[in-house]
Amino acid sequence: MTFEGLDGSGKTTQARLLAESLSKEREVVATREPGGTPLGERIREVLLHGEDISPWAEAALFAAARAELVEQVIRPALERGAAVVCDRYLDSSLAYQGIARRLGIEEVLQLNLTVVGGLLPDRTFVLQLDPAVAAKRTRRARDRIEREGEEFHAALGAAYWQLGQLYPERIVLLDGSLPPDALAEQIGRSLP
């Protein structure tokens, strides 16, 4: 299961709550993107705190971190029967680079499907929240992507909605303004 949405939408909280809930019944591997491996964490630093990056270089770096995470963490966990809960995954690249950066959904999807060997989540939960509200929830110093303008973040909100329409069989759109417990309950009812 993966969680998506704007920074500040509550996705990290919901990923943690789901991992805690599932861990009562089985092994759970909780991870995040970019990151989750030593290489992924170094790429995360470049992506979030480095200088400006061209859109395709950004997409390629996210894909590289994702490839390493799948190879080193996600696929081995799935092979041993563990549940995997990931804070961001491939749909982030479709929204951020494919739609908001206008590289194209299909182009970014093909790059990512190649590097992850076709591994898609069983369920993706997208927490939708007004970009202004999401920005107010973010308390830490803003990273390179969070500093993008309001137009970019509005495009991201619309991008996630568009992905929900394109892939309704695996993407569940949720109201990120709901209290955490209410959201967790909805997520629990929507598990595959």
Contact between 164 and 126 (Cβ < 8 Å): yes
- What's the structural domain count of the chain? 1
Position 143 pLDDT exceeds 70: no
CA angle, residues 74, 62, 85, in degrees to nearest 5: 30
pLDDT single digits (tens) 10-47: 999 999 999 999 999 999 999 999 999 999 999 999 99
* Rounded Cα distance, 66 and 71, in Å: 9
pTM recorded for the entire structure: 0.91
CATH of the domain at 123: 3.40.50.300
Question: Does 180 reside within a domain?
Answer: yes
pLDDT at 146: 66
The rounded percent of the chain whose pLDDT value lies above 90 is: 80
Range of the domain at 165: 2-185
Least confident of 20-24, 48-52, 68-72, 87-91: 48-52
Q: Is residue 192 part of a domain?
A: no
From CA 68, how far away is CA 65, in angstroms rounded? 5
